[in-house]
Chains A and B, each alone.
Chain A
Amino acid sequence: MTRSMIMSEKIKLSERPADTALGSAPEHVPEWLSNRLRRMFTDVMDEPVPEEFRALLRQLEEKERGF
């Protein structure tokens, strides 16, 4: 292998996005980031749903039943 071939291979590798250089799909999201996204989401999901929403749904139900 010539020196120029080695150089061009090195350039190609260094130009790749980080994750594809590690052999993943281009849209791959690193674990630390997907974990944080999921945690942000489940933190809100774990909150109790405010009463106003349940009241709204009760209202809709009663309206439909003609109360």
Chain B
Amino acid sequence: MNPLELMLGILTAVGGFVDVSELVFAAQAGSGFGYALIWVFAIATIGIMVFGEMSGRVAAVAKQPVFNLMRHRLGLGLGLVTLSASVASNLITCAAEVGGAAIILHLLTGASYALMALAMTAVLVASIWVLPFKWIERAYGLLGLVMIVFAVALVKIDPPWGAIASGFVPQVPEGLSVRELTRFAYFGVAIVSAVMFPYEVYFYSSGGIEDEWGVKDLGVNRLTCIVGFGLGSLLAITILSSSAQLFGPFHIDPQLPGSAALEVELPMGRTGLLLALLGMLFAISGAAIETCLANAYGIAQFFGWKWGRRKKPWDAPRFTLAWILLFALALAIVLTGIDVMRLVEFAVLFSILVLPLTYLPLLLLASDRRFMREHRNGWLANGLGWAYFVVILVAAVAAIPLFVLTSGGQA
């Protein structure tokens, strides 16, 4: 295990963890319910660690990307349904990320939102075209580490640390009205979805195959998932905690991706504001690339096309065309003028519906001795995997009623 590679992998996972949905839902959850939803972040993070590790292990041992498994395990019909739902979910998520990044650029430069969306998409397409896979992942992941400024800001405002720590204990706040309880449940489901987005697993496992992982990389895979996702999630929790401290007293439900930057501005001034906006820009841009590539990986793997950024773009032409078209579609959605916050809500809603179909085939294959040999799931991975499968099933069933009842978390 190369320590430098390991450290870079972990730092990339930390910097690449937060995306526009986590930014929005963490900030809104904190302002609406104080620290009471931290435990949902913690539980969902263990879920993404479990399934992320599983997908990386399957990539390293069975050399199978997630969508290949889906087609074989679910059959062509159900596999196609899952693919269609995933493509729709990832496309909406990608549009939300492109729109979010365009808003941040608009706030940084003052240039028009539409122009910034166009420029952002051009930069993202150029990045994928020019950079080798490892550096696409690392460049945005490492630049996303500027988000650590949120943790510095939280330390500066010196919140009640004991109250934050108690937020890790599963709880439903006392004294909430029916309306507030419904909203609390909606945010719980939305956080599970935002943390366990299916694109993360598609991208992570396909990346493992791009990087030609083997059995020797299983330790790196495990540490990257546990430490990288764990620290990344702590960043999201700092956003929630600052929001509870700074927005809660003003009764602000942060309505825009740019609002979260105020959490750093209030304790750190203009420099903090600029650092927060830059960190958010890099983190959201990285997520836009991941969602787009995850979608193109899924389509190419399902139909058995040549795929991968380790190949020259013209050596995998249908894959290349797929990711360019997906970015163009995401941009088209953004340019319709649809509110980015609505896109974020739809992305989270669609994703939770896709989650069970994504994780079931993975869980089955990771437990299969024929493919995984001695590296198949042990009792802990299997137990956690099935427990989380039940959690996401319940969340998927509850998602649409909660969305309707709360008008997307508004009331």
Q: Are A and B a genuine interacting pair, yes or no?
A: no
